[in-house]
Amino acid sequence: MKITYHGHSVLTVVLEDGSKLLFDPFIQGNPLTDLVVDDVQADYILVTHGHNDHIGDLIKIAKNTQATVVSIVEICQWAENQGVEHTHGMNLGGSFQFPFGKVTFVPALHSSSYTQGRQTIYMGEAAGIILEVAGKIIYHAGDTAEFSDMQLIGENYAIDAAFLPIGDNFTMGPSAAARAAKRLQAKIVVPIHYNTFPIVQQDPQAFVQLIPGVGQVLAVGETLELN
């Protein structure tokens, strides 16, 4: 399994069978990403919540690739209303066994809405996503504050790689994310959601020093392999 970081909260996961998963596809307007919307390939698009910097280019990519959108049900309903043909709506605490593996939506402490012109659209609850595939477990926390039930997530899942926001202001900052990492007990912790905009400027190397032995910074375009 190959997990590549593409700036902000964007991840691509390529599985052994060639299946391609795309998380939180914010590409246009993302100054850090190495992706080009029209070149992106995906079989499934997983979205943690409805903010513009996470939904991003969901609609265009889903239409280009005919990928299945997997997200909170309100986001899937919204996507269907935009002409996306394939969706799978879920909700907090729910799991589903897809052909590629199992997906579970877990809580995140955050808001979730989409801004379209002067309109703000309700997008359901914010979530984190647990992916269980090929004997490995990945946790994409989405945007979230630190919360004590992260310890339950860590107790229920032997997480191989956790992707945690560190940008502060809108999400956990580095200190809170380090405490979250200790609750989760993941084997590898990768910082996300930082340096995209001035208000979320952080030093990822300083963050990983707070969690020695597990922290790993991925440069944009860099791949983490889980075997």
Q: Is residue 227 predicted with pLDDT exceeding 90?
A: no
Closest-CA residue to 44 (of 164, 136, 129):
129
Q: Is residue 163 predicted with pLDDT exceeding 90?
A: yes
Rounded CA separation 108/104 (Å): 13
Q: Is the dihedral of CA 144, 92, 29, 138 positive or negative?
A: positive
Work out the average pLDDT over 208-223: 98
Q: By the 8 A CB rule, do 61 and 67 touch?
A: yes
Rounded CA separation 59/45 (Å): 10
pLDDT at 188: 98
Nearest-5° Cα angle at 59, 56 to 62: 115
* Average pLDDT value over all residues in the chain: 97
Name 39's Cβ contacts closer than 8 Å, sequence gap at least 6: none
Residue 227 lies in a domain: no
Residue 226 lies in a domain: no
Residue 150 lies in a domain: yes
Q: What is the pTM of this model?
A: 0.98
pLDDT one-digit tens code per residue, 191-202:
999 999 999 999
Residue 191 lies in a domain: yes
Q: How far is CA 53 from the centre of its chain?
A: 11
Residue 126 lies in a domain: yes
Both structure tokens of 176: 């809170």
Which residues face 89 on adjacent strands? 71
Q: Is residue 33 predicted with pLDDT exceeding 90?
A: yes
Residue 214 lies in a domain: yes
Which residues face 223 on adjacent strands? 4
Q: Which CATH number covers residue 51? A: 3.60.15.10
Model confidence at 148, in pLDDT bands (50, 70, 90)? Answer: very high
Q: By the 8 A CB rule, do 165 and 177 touch?
A: yes
- Burial of 99: CB neighbours in 10 Å, binned 0-12, 13-18, 19+: exposed
Residue 224 lies in a domain: no
Please give the C-alpha separations between residue 15 and each of 19, 38, 68, 167, 183, in angstroms, as whole numbers: 5, 21, 16, 29, 28
Q: Which domain holds residue 117?
A: 2-219
Rounded CA separation 213/12 (Å): 24
Q: For the chain, what is the domain count? A: 1
Residue 138 lies in a domain: yes
